[in-house]
Structure 1
């Protein structure tokens, strides 16, 4: 892969005039991102100091809380926290679209200070009702902050920064969870002053978050004239209908919500998993949560490098596969744990080798969860209309809350029927397989991008030259030289958005490749002397696609090269442009000639996996050409110049 775009350097946006860093970590030095990052970081940390402290106290010191069942308390706390998302998400989405997001962030953080004063009183008095009330109010706080948080990012980041920015937010969130878990668990474990330490920590972090929010820059309202509908039922329904207008966005919302189902099931099970399965004390819960958090953070940060700073939804199926594989292995690993006669401390836990398999499964499961979530969040932000973005995020929160409540109810039901925590993990892993198959069958774009990404990045080390010239929005025709049978796959893997390829009709008869390109909505074409009707249908399909603002890619040579040289460009491109004039983007592939996928007589298989031995190829993209200038001869000259001497 080309590492050049990932080096730390700066550039200036032609639209905003703001200096932009080329490394995602550089965003942490910029005011447009850093104050927002620390505000949400402290918010996530405080949530977990409170929830982990509360959960730890009622699980391991149940006698001090009258009427609390330690086996179900963790699931009940999770459910209470989520209820406000169901009740108020629709309203909070409207508020985030109507008002300045920086002002809303400051109001929310002021509210958090009041809430934590209530929680502090609950800790000091060992009052379960007060702590449950505080849990609900913190849910209200997060409900209002959620749409602000995710609608803020695309307002202040360029499209190529969205994956890196979301990766930092996801990493920061789970590092905050880790730190909050450590602080909450340690404070709850302090026998004499635990309640006071928890109270002081929660109030202190709320104040720190309010200070950070004061530096968040002004964020103009997306739709200041919006009239707020205060009816949560009708507005929830309206938000869901709004989200369903874009099928891919809506199913991405469902995909994220499902991840919250999976994550909630695991995170809320850790206390009972440690106590009942691993025979471990609360400090080991911190180790489990730390492993999970570091895994999510690692996966989230790797997304930018793996996706080359664009929204790469091909990582989503990879993530779902990894989640199921390692969740299933966690089930089998749990059955190899022999019960101990006492609760193990951290040192005793880490000495036993079977426990390292548990930790490895948790880390890898969470890392693949990062691969899964970051591209989905970036996709939603990139494809949602700016005027409705916060309400789309609110719809996401509604779905998230519903899935998390179902997760808690499923866990309560299964445990009441005697299913252990490992059985709960296995059930979740198998359900994840079913959900993944369902979503990818409805939106093949995810699976196709995954297949293209795997094939290309297994065999090739690709260098991109001016790939930013491929339009991120609007209609355009891409033209490229035709060197091999995998040209379309390479271009598909490196494009920032879906492409409709014009392909020889015979390729659709091939079982796997035909299935792949049919689901990619490729357009079959035949010469006039073979099937004049099919040729006319192909031109009509190209015109419709361009009318709808899609990218259409054609190989004007009409056939694979047998010599490595570019064949003469045919006049089909002129007919496409006659029906719908659109900018034409010339592209050239270098390095595929001589591979087994080409017609080279001494063709060789590319060498996979090992980075230093991978076959190098280049995809070069030229300046767009106006349709009136895009003659076959001019386009052939442009593609030849991009390809150069290397074939």
Structure 2
């Protein structure tokens, strides 16, 4: 898969028609909503009379209300019905909604437009679970991150296109609303055409009995999701992203007008910068993750989201808007370029944050309940967004400026991120591993597909440096419980990672027989639970760079729990800052520089009955070769 581009999926029927259907739906959402928001903000008296500073928040709240009311039902429909047929029904419904919206635009009836906003929210409520349940049904596990990245990128490019189109059409003058109405109908029909080519997607639970009570069904879905801690915490993480992002997206119009003094086209420019940022972040996830679900990118994303939101507040402190500026005037100021860079980077890090979480849910959720879990996620997203809208309106009415609202949101993001990583330390552990590999080394992996995707296995590897476990963790698609010398387990700084990763400290029998026995008991428990356990059979880090004789620890482990053994070999770490070449590790300058090459070779599993110390030692030596 590493030799293929994620863009190859666009040429395949199993992905392309869904992508373009989603793309056109997102474009239409924003062509309609942004066109109406511009009218309600810049021409409030003629289009509803809502205060301009809060019109965007009201439209956003109405749009997401159906997610709260109908997501539970839409999730059940997605699990019960064939997905292609359901997608085509949703696109037919979109055409009807656009006829209602068109009447509101042409006859200048704001009430009809608010009704259409609610109905488009219902359209998106029905489509969301189908879309995210469809992907794992048609994509392989190693394609999930790339597929989700393309969908996220396409969504925000569509937002960009719809936003720009709305701004340009509204600026044409009195005929602008009519042009928006025509554009919305044309895009809806185009979406129906692409939906025609979505392939057959059988229902995972065609006998499911629909529970029409949204409250009891929502609670049932959340209980299903909560059974898998990884899935549930990913739902919370995504919901927080929607809280965070909705405040920025709904604030762009008053931010541009009242803070930096921009006209409608400047609003469009800011949204374009934001959308391109998220799209690029989503696409980069495929490359940065190494074609696997890499939750280590989530903390990386949250850090950037906070840092650049704080700088956005700082960059706008003390600005005096003055007369409304055109794009040309706006772009002449270096100060305004800083604002655009902040928005771009904030959004890009948001892409790093979101894609792995969506892929994590799809990879771990039970197929028969996947759409309903995604529906539960949509409900949580909607609730978080409603709370965000209410909080933003309250703070603005209390006298906070929009830049100060951004600062409050950034501080909240830092606090929430810290709390999430406290609850799920694996996120932070994976992040630290990811930073290590992408800052110090360039890791060449070979045979990593031999690491079992499910079930218990014992991993054995040569022991060259203090960061060997981190390198192996960074390459593994699954968590691994490492058995390690209790002194290394207590090493300052990286001991946090080992404890977080549920490493198992061990000591020689003559030093601490009780600890040794506890270690073997823990290993047996972890293997019985279906986890991966790793051991360095040499018993210590090499002082010479050469492979040392394997001890009998693996024999004792396999006698109690006979599981397959996966041999690995690390290459290129001898002589690094973390190795013992020429003296104690981590006491010499970093001589080899950053981004030095290292390797990890993984062999197919060996049955427990054949995994003697001599056989394993010979296999690891073969895998390592001459590159120490």
Unaligned runs of at least 5 residues, structure 1: 8-21
CA contact (8 A) 1:465 1:620 kept: yes
Counterpart of 2:248 in structure 1 is 266
Which residue is 1:202 aligned to? 184
Asked if the contact 2:33/2:117 (under 8 Å) is kept, the reply is yes
Give the stretch that moved more between structures: 416-425 or 571-580.
571-580
Q: What CA distance in whole angstroms lies between the structure 2 residues aligned with 1:559 and 1:66?
A: 74
Aligned to 2:321: 339
How far, CA to CA, are the matches of 1:170 and 1:593 in structure 2?
41
Which residue is equivalent to 1:517?
Answer: 498
SS at match of 2:573: coil
Residue in 2 that maps onto 1:192: 174
Aligned to 1:77: 59
Q: Distance in 1 between matches of 2:520 and 2:368?
A: 35
**1:292-371 equivalences in 2 (<5 Å):** 292-340=274-322, 342-371=323-352
| Aligned counterpart, 2:151 | 169
Deviation at 1:69, TM superposition (A): 2.3
Partner of 1:243: 225
Report whether the alignment pairs 1:228 with 2:210: yes
- Cα separation, 1, equivalents of 2:144 and 2:447: 19
How far apart, in 1, do the equivalents of 2:321 and 2:75 lie?
A: 48
3-state SS of 2:341 partner: helix
Task: Verify: 1:542 aligned to 2:519, yes or no.
Answer: no
Cα pair 2:461 2:567 within 8 Å, conserved? yes
**Is 1:619 the equivalent of 2:612?**
no
Q: Hey, what's the Cα distance between the residues in 1 that align with 2:380 and 2:496?
A: 32
Q: SS of 1:269's equivalent?
A: helix
Tell me the alpha carbon deviations over residues 547-580 of structure 1, each in whole angstroms, 9 at most, x when there is no partner: 2211111101111111111111111111111222
- 1:178 is aligned to 2:185: no
For residues 185 and 493 of structure 1, the distance between their equivalents in structure 2, rounded to whole angstroms, comes to 45
Whether contact under 8 Å (2:239, 2:384) holds in the other structure is yes
- Alpha-carbon distance in 2 for matches of 1:391, 1:609: 49
Is 1:592 the counterpart of 2:573 in the alignment? Answer: yes
The alpha carbon displacement at 1:606 in A equals: 4.6
Corresponding residue for residue 483 of structure 1:
464
Determine which of 76, 86, 101 is the counterpart of 1:119.
101
The structural deviation recorded for 1:41 is: 0.3
Tell me the CA shift for residue 66 of structure 1. Answer: 4.0
Q: Secondary structure at the match of 2:92?
A: helix
- Cα deviation, residue 516, structure 1: 1.9
Q: Deviations for 1:357-413, whole angstroms, at most 9, x for unmatched residues?
A: 000000000000000001111111111111111111111101100110011001110
Cα distance 1:389–1:534, how it changes in 2: closer, same or farther (>3 A)?
same
2:440 counterpart of 1:443? no
Retained in 1: the 8 A contact 2:17–2:194?
A: yes
Instruction: Return the alpha-carbon distance in structure 1 between the equivalents of residues 26 and 32 of structure 2.
Output: 10
SS in 1 for 2:59: helix
Residue number among 574, 598, 610 corresponding to 1:629 in the alignment: 610
Q: Does 1:219 align with 2:201?
A: yes
The aligned residue for residue 377 of structure 2 is 396
Distance 1:409 1:596 in 2: 52
Residue 557 (str. 1) matches residue 538 (str. 2):
yes
Query: Following the alignment from structure 1 to structure 2, what is the Cα–Cα distance between the partners of residues 640 and 325?
Result: 46
Report deviation, 1:336: 4.7
Q: 1:458 touches 1:608 (CA, 8 Å); kept in 2?
A: no
Which has the larger displacement, 526-535 or 217-226?
526-535
Shift of 1:514: 2.1
Conservation of the 8 A alpha-carbon contact between 1:606 and 1:615 = no
Alpha-carbon distance in 2 for matches of 1:605, 1:467: 31
Q: Give the distance between the partners of 1:631 and 1:525, measured in 2 at CA.
A: 21
* Corresponding residue number in structure 1 for 2:261: 279
User: Are 2:576 and 2:592, in contact at CA under 8 Å, matched by a contact in 1?
Assistant: no
- Given that residues 6 and 305 in structure 1 are in contact (C-alpha distance below 8 angstroms), is that contact kept between their aligned partners in structure 2? no
8 A contact 2:576–2:591 mirrored in 1: no
2:253 and 2:528 map into 1 onto residues whose CA distance is 56
Q: Contact 1:100–1:218 at 8 Å: present in 2 too? A: yes
SS in 2 for 1:501: strand
1:92 alignment counterpart? 74
- Three-state SS of the structure 1 residue aligned to 2:399 is coil
Look up the match of 1:463.
444
Q: Secondary structure at the match of 2:567?
A: strand
Q: Is the 8 A contact 1:82 1:405 kept in 2?
A: yes
Whether the 8 Å CA contact 1:49–1:181 is kept in 2: the answer is yes
CA-CA distance at 1:338 after TM superposition: 3.3
Deviation, structure 1 residue 535: 1.6
* Cα distance change on mapping 1:164 and 1:491 into 2, 3 Å: same
* Structure 2 CA distance for aligned equivalents of residues 605 and 215 of structure 1: 59
Tell me what 1:17 maps to.
none
- Aligned CA RMSD, in angstroms, stands at 1.3
The Cα shift of 1:274 comes to 0.6
| Paired residues of 2:40 and 2:48 also in contact (CA < 8 A) | no
Q: Helix, strand or coil for the counterpart of 1:351? A: coil
Q: What's 1:289 paired with?
A: 271
Q: Which stretches of structure 1, 4 residues or more, deviate above 3 A after TM superposition?
A: 602-610
Distance 1:372 1:447 in 2: 13
Alignment equivalent of 1:502, drawn from 468, 476, 483: 483
TM-superposed deviation, 1:192: 2.1
CA distance in 1 between partners of 2:592 and 2:436 (Å): 10
Q: Deviations over 1:578-605 (max 9, x none)?
A: 2222111100001111112112116765
- Number of residue-to-residue matches in the alignment: 625
The structure-2 alpha-carbon separation of the partners of 1:401 and 1:608, relative to structure 1 and needing over 3 Å to count, comes to farther
Alpha-carbon distance in 1 for matches of 2:321, 2:286: 42
Instruction: Give the whole-Å Cα distance in 1 for the aligned partners of 2:111 and 2:50.
Output: 10
What's 2:29 paired with? 47
Matching of residue 36 in structure 1 with residue 26 in structure 2 = no
Partner of 1:583: 564
Q: Report the 3-state secondary structure (helix = DSSP H, G, I; strand = E; otherwise coil) of the residue aligned with 2:482.
A: strand
1:308/1:605 Cα in 2 relative to 1: closer, same or farther (>3 Å)?
farther
Q: How far off is 1:151 after superposition?
A: 0.7
